[in-house]
Structure 1
């Protein structure tokens, strides 16, 4: 169904406090099937390209816990191919939650508005969240989804996911 996320494709930038998840560092449902996804070569900066699915599910988690009491933001860098389809009826959603039992924060993404071959960051303004000072589990669990419309969609490119500390 999907290839396991490759920890070698997730990098932490100490100086910026930023996690970068290349496509192979994410769990992308159906990514092991070449009829649905074209995955980049390991170690490259190429995007994963969605050919067609009716179930979009991309998940990730930070390999190390986040710092208690800090604010963070999640975003995905995406673009669309010329043959994009199916997004008019199907908004996508991003989710971030701290800890397996945490409360999820959601953002609605209208992919029908994304210009072809224009790399952009979604959601606009990023999905912001805070790690409680009392949190027991401070691992971030996040995702990018469209599971509800049941229609086929394609033409989405995933360049990377970014989790970054936000200054006060």
Structure 2
């Protein structure tokens, strides 16, 4: 049995099941010995009472079914956390809890944290989603265009409010894809986020694209950030939320905030090109490794 004052976790034999009818052994997470398993900086084992302890994998499932069973619970955005006063023509802010986060309800991968009063005053959010570690990043959301209440055609820029912690890892390996879609028209850009680690524990507004809203136009703007092509693990960042700014007013707004200067895709053209090259290589490798009839691709956006 493991001891909380030891860094490594020793397997609990009570967490191993045997199915005599099918001659099959099933090892739950706590039925395995894990080096550094008792150190929450590296591992976060399920609680003894959590459903994850009792969740087993049926090896008679096909590949897609096994993937779904292993994926764990996801966080479904709570639209009620977007206050009604967000209906303004200049700026709209969406807290992390109003976003859909794959793996977001599994504390092994994501955790909800309270932001300090200073941070709340600075970024406008009082809570954030902390990414511990994951190899499938998929964060999405949507807003009706009627929320923007524009008097004339207006262009908006999309920003993700994020903070990279001092031990952030895995962000150099592959580019993150940012998508924006409005009424069927989609744009996508890819770039590597490694450089944001240079100023760790500082809030950044990372540009994720743009869209245009016309007066009285009905529709839904969808947005998301993804890295689902590779199997590279990434972690130690905090996502406070999502914001969009009227391009005509954003420059003045940013000069008055304590955010770091936004990095637009155009300002990192060399990095973006490198990211595109890496993405194509990773996609090719993923396709060659994927089991027959399967694909490592998001179907939610």
Q: What TM-score do you get using the length of structure 1 for normalisation?
A: 0.83
Segments of 4+ moved more than 6 angstroms: none
The answer to whether residue 105 in structure 2 is matched with residue 32 in structure 1 is: yes
User: Which among 198, 201, 208 is matched to residue 117 of structure 1?
Assistant: 201
Matches within 5 A, 1:7-156: 7-11=79-83, 12-15=85-88, 17-40=90-113, 45-63=126-144, 65=146, 69-99=153-183, 102-115=184-197, 116-123=200-207, 127-131=209-213, 138-156=219-237
Q: Aligned equivalents of 1:76 and 1:14: distance in 2?
A: 19
CA RMSD of aligned residues (A): 2.4
Q: Distance in 1 between the 2:97 and 2:88 partners?
A: 23
Structure 2 residue runs without a partner (length 5+): 1-72, 115-124, 250-301
Q: Deviations over 1:114-165 (max 9, x none)?
A: 1311111112xx6222236796x52100001111121111112111100233
SS at match of 2:80: helix
1:96 Cα deviation from its structure 2 partner: 0.6
Indicate the SS of the match to 1:47.
Answer: strand
Structure 1 unaligned spans of 5+:
none
Cα distance in structure 2, aligned partners of 1:6 and 1:134: 26
Q: With CA pairs under 8 Å and 6+ residues apart, which has the higher RCO, 1 or 2? A: 1
Q: Is the 8 A contact 1:85 1:155 kept in 2?
A: yes
Distance in 1, Cα, partners of 2:134 & 2:237: 10
Query: Over alpha carbons, which structure has the higher Rg?
Result: 2
Structure 2 CA distance for aligned equivalents of residues 150 and 53 of structure 1? 9
| Residues 72 and 166, structure 1, Cα contact 8 Å, conserved in 2 | yes
Count residues with an aligned counterpart. Answer: 161
Aligned-partner Cα distance in 1 for 2:162–2:77: 18
Q: Deviations over 1:8-31 (max 9, x none)?
A: 222453455322111101001101
